[in-house]
Homo-oligomer: A and B are copies of this chain.
Amino acid sequence: MSDAYAGRRERLRENCSGKGADAALITRPSNVRYLTGCGPCGATLLLTRERALLALPDDLPPDDTGEHLLGEDLSQLLVTAGADTALAAAEAAAQLRVGDLVVEEHDLTVTRHRAVAALAEGVRLADLGRAVERMRVVKDEHEIADLRIAAEIADQALSELLESILVGRTERHLAMELERRMIDHGADKAAFPVSVGTGSHSGQENHQPTDRRVEEGDFLTVVLGAQYRGYGVSTARTFVIGASPAPWQVELHRLVFRAQRAGREALGPGVESCVPDLAAREILQAAGHSEASPHPVGHGIGLEIREAPRLGPADMGKLDNRVPVTVGPGVHLPGKGGVRIEDTLVVRPLEEGGPELLTITTKELLAL
């Protein structure tokens, strides 16, 4: 893996050279992790033509200092607890006589940028922009392997939950149990707070679990994802509680299922980013849910749970091979509930079998 990190740093060096910069100051935690393997600990990377210098706080938990130590060309600069690693790296840039330094202006606050500029004496600052985020869009097979494990963990936790008795338990308890099970199965942690919505809460995208208890006849929507070695996935399923779903439940579930399948099947290298959304949206709109889904049907996923590309109805640009994305339409009928079905998939060409489904829990309308 240390080779992979070194390779990424080399690509960033080329990018910087192209911009006329001698060095880059990387502060955004997911970008630091991508380039060094160093977990979220407040580290800053100063990447010059010859060196890669990692400024680390000196009160790191031991787990965070693992893999990046392997990097052959990566040296460390430990800074005192509580001190800002970006400032330590800025001082180092001045000492190394960096002329032109690019920084992540979308990550540095105005105050921090000013402090960096003050310490990086004699150094000209410019904006790196989202160059590292762009590098991160297409994943290598190591990254996809981690995503696959994250998906397996989420699927396992979910399948165990489905075997247990749900009626009478609260949304909060179910959410906590899913988080615990994911950690038991080896997740770093939940990739985001698990959402469990039952009854009128079902089908919502950002529902925060409440003390509402699962009742017979409810829809139950679960949105969860595990994080494994920094990489997260997201999946949503909607089930019905009790033996016989109502006709409207069967119909709504079938509709969202169809929309989600259309979105998934539209994925492919060279496809425009808006196409999966439009494919799913068309089906929901034809059934009269025109306002039901103002949100993009999906987005890229990896070291951040929402990253580029965005799959919204107006998004441009073409999907690439090996880009993991979510596809997750939903319909929520206020006061009544709804359905959300989401997968994480990797864009693959048809010759390789088309989109690779990572989250494999059944999307059938299980009656639990």
- Interface of A toward B, CB cutoff 8 Å: 58-61, 63-64, 80-82, 105-114, 127, 172, 176, 179-180, 183, 204-208, 210, 294-296, 310, 312
Contacts and interface: CB of A to CB of B under 8 A. Distances in A.
A20 to B, nearest CB: 19
A213 to B, nearest CB: 14
Contacts of A208: 61, 63-64
B107 A109 contact: yes
A29 B60 CA distance: 26
A268 to B, nearest CB: 24
A310 B295 CA distance: 42
A206 to B, nearest CB: 5
Specify which of A61, A80, A204 lies most central, judged by the most chain B CB atoms within 10 Å of its CB: A61
B106 A106 contact: no
Given A109-B107, A206-B61, A81 B172 contact: no
Contacts of A183: 172, 176
Count of chain copies: 2
A150 to B, nearest CB: 17
B110 A207 contact: no
A82 B299 CA distance: 12
Contacts of A206: 59-61
Nearest to A60: B206
Contacts of A80: 294
Contacts of A64: 208
8 contacts: A61-B206, A61-B208, A81-B294, A81-B295, A82-B295, A105-B109, A108-B109, A108-B110
A245 B13 CA distance: 56
A174 B99 CA distance: 51
Contacts of A110: 105-106, 108-110, 113, 127
A59 B110 CA distance: 28
Contacts of A108: 109-110
A61 B205 CA distance: 8
A293 to B, nearest CB: 10
Specify which of A80, A106, A310 lies most central, judged by the most chain B CB atoms within 10 Å of its CB: A106
A58 B111 contact: no
Contacts of A106: 109-112
Given A61-B206, A106-B111, 16 more contacts: A58-B294, A59-B206, A60-B206, A61-B204, A63-B210, A82-B295, A82-B296, A82-B310, A105-B111, A105-B114, A106-B110, A109-B109, A109-B110, A110-B127, A111-B127, A180-B180
A80 B110 CA distance: 26
Nearest to A107: B109
Contacts of A127: 110-111
A201 B204 CA distance: 41
A179 B173 CA distance: 12
Contacts of A105: 109-111, 114
A68 to B, nearest CB: 16
A40 B183 CA distance: 25
